[in-house]
Amino acid sequence: MYRRIWIYVAAGLATILVSGWRMNLSIFFPYLMNYYEIDSVTSIALFATISSGIAVFSSSFLGVLYDRRGSSIPLFIGASTQFFSALIIWFMRYHPWSVAMWLWYVSGAIVGLGFPALMVSINPTIIRMFPTRPGIALAMVQSSNYLALTLWSPIIPRMVSLTDVFTATVLLSIATVAMMLLCAKIYSSLSPIYRPQQGRQSRLVIPKLFILILIPIFFIVISSTLLLQFIA
């Protein structure tokens, strides 16, 4: 059992490490600007605003799904969104920016729908492995995030120089999909935290206060998006 715990931990940390290239997404912006001959980064950076705004809402539902069904299903969802996002980005190369821009934004929206599954599933699973030492467990997760930032910063420019910005993004996405699917398979043996029982009190719902908090966040995201679009 002790060895199995470390297999779960290693799988989760490796998945975070491989998927962590998305935290360096801004590295791709200058290459896209150069490819499409864009003077301002604002229209490209709108990708992050859209993705993050949607992730605010999808995270809560993926969290409920994790509690009910365990880690595997959210990770499968995350892997699927990564695949479709990469597919859309691949086809961007064949269009001018007036069209590719919308493909870029749709890709960001799809990423926002599923990518939060990575943290929603892996973080609590690793913490679950160390119930008496949650601080150490969380520190391991955060260390993997920081290591990903350090690792991918020099690798991404090298990949783009050897291929191109679209191919590099797709290759990294494929690696992410593979790791998320592998992690989902390994975590499939873990039982869900929440087990439905008889009675109304056993229902797992999202607190109303949390939903109310999301409403002003939604308007902040929308206003930021409109502002960025206006500036662009």
- State the pTM of this model: 0.80
Q: Long-range contact list for 22-29, CB < 8 A, 24+ apart?
A: 22/111, 22/115, 22/176, 23/145, 23/148, 23/149, 23/152, 24/149, 24/152, 24/153, 24/156, 27/152, 27/153, 27/156, 27/157, 28/156, 28/160, 28/165, 28/168, 28/169
Question: What integer pLDDT is reported at residue 193 of this predicted model?
Answer: 62
Per-residue pLDDT of the chain (232 residues; tens, 9 = 90+): 567 888 888 999 999 999 999 988 889 999 999 999 998 888 898 898 889 889 888 988 898 899 888 899 999 999 999 999 999 999 999 999 999 999 999 999 999 999 889 888 998 888 888 888 888 888 888 888 889 888 999 999 999 999 999 999 999 999 999 999 999 999 988 877 655 554 444 454 555 555 555 555 555 554 554 444 444 4
Domains in the chain: ranges and CATH: 38-189+204-231 (1.20.1250)
